[in-house]
C-alpha cells in the first residue's frame, strides 16, 4: 500500500490534470459554437477588459487560463506545459507546483489587463506556463552550484528571451501576460520554496513575498481606479 502511495505521489497528476481540463474545455467550446467564436469565448470566460472592470467579472482572470483560441494555440501550450510541468512538479511537489501555476497565470492576466488592448479578447495558459519558466530562473539563481539546474536555467533563459522577442514580432500574442507570468513565477518560487533541492535564503523569500504582494496590490489598485 505504501509503495502504491509513493508511486502515485511521484506521478505528475497536477500537470496531467491541468492538460485534461484544458482539452475538456476546448472540446466543450468546439461543440457549442467554436473556439474562435467571440461570443463563445466570452461565454466560457475569456478576458474582456470592460466586462472585468465594469461588470466586476474578475473570475475571468482564472477561467481564461483554460480557454484556447484554435487548435494550434492549445496544442502548443499543452505540449509545453507537459514537458516543463513534469520537471517543475517533480522538483517542487504537487501543491507548490499548482500554487506557482495559478499565481503566475492570474498575475499574467492582470498585467495583460493593465497594458493590453482594451477591446481585445485574451485567453490561454501562456501566462501560467511562462511562470514555470520564471521558476527555473529562480532555481538558477538560488541553486547555481547545482550543474544540472544551472545548465537548465541557462537554456530556458535563452528560450524565454527568444519567445518574448518572437511575441513582440507577431501579432495576436499577449506578450504582457507572458512577461507578467515570468515575473510572478520567479517571485513565487522563492515564496513556496523547494525543499527537495535545498533551503532558499530567508531574506530572499521575504523580499520576494513582499514584492509579489505589492505588485498584485498595485496592479489591482490601478485597474480599479481607471
Q: Which positions are annotated as active-site residues? A: 126, 178
Note whether 108 and 123 are within 8 A (CB).
no
Residue 109 neighbours by CB distance under 10 Å: 31
Nearest 5°: phi and psi at 198? 170, -175
Give dist(CA 26, CA 8) in Å, integer.
27
Note whether 73 and 124 are within 8 A (CB).
yes
Grid cell 501562456 in the structure block, residue: 126
Give dist(CA 134, CA 111) in Å, integer.
15
The C-alpha cell at 118 is: 482594451
Amino acid at each position: 500500500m505504501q509503495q502504491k502511495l509513493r508511486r502515485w505521489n511521484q506521478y505528475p497528476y497536477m500537470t496531467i490534470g491541468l492538460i485534461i481540463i484544458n482539452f475538456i474545455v476546448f472540446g466543450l467550446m468546439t461543440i457549442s459554437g467554436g473556439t474562435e467564436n467571440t461570443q463563445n469565448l466570452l461565454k466560457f470566460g475569456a478576458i474582456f477588459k470592460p466586462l472585468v472592470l465594469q461588470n466586476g467579472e474578475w473570475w475571468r482572470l482564472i477561467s481564461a487560463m483554460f480557454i484556447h483560441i484554435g487548435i494550434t494555440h492549445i496544442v502548443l501550450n499543452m505540449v509545453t506545459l507537459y514537458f516543463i510541468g513534469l520537471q517543475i512538479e517533480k522538483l517542487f511537489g504537487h501543491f507548490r507546483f499548482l500554487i506557482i501555476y495559478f499565481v503566475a497565470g492570474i498575475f499574467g492576466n492582470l498585467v495583460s489587463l493593465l497594458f493590453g488592448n482594451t477591446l481585445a479578447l485574451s485567453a490561454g495558459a501562456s501566462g501560467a506556463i511562462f511562470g514555470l519558466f520564471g521558476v527555473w530562473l529562480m532555481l538558477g539563481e538560488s541553486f547555481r552550484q547545482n550543474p544540472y539546474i544551472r545548465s537548465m536555467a541557462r537554456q530556458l533563459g535563452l528560450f524565454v528571451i527568444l519567445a518574448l522577442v518572437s511575441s513582440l514580432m507577431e501579432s495576436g500574442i499577449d506578450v504582457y501576460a507572458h512577461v507578467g507570468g515570468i515575473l510572478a513565477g520567479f517571485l513565487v518560487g522563492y515564496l513556496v520554496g523547494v525543499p527537495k533541492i535545498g533551503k532558499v535564503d530567508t531574506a530572499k523569500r521575504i523580499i520576494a513575498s513582499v514584492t509579489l504582494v505589492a505588485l498584485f496590490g498595485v496592479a489591482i489598485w490601478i485597474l480599479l481606479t481607471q
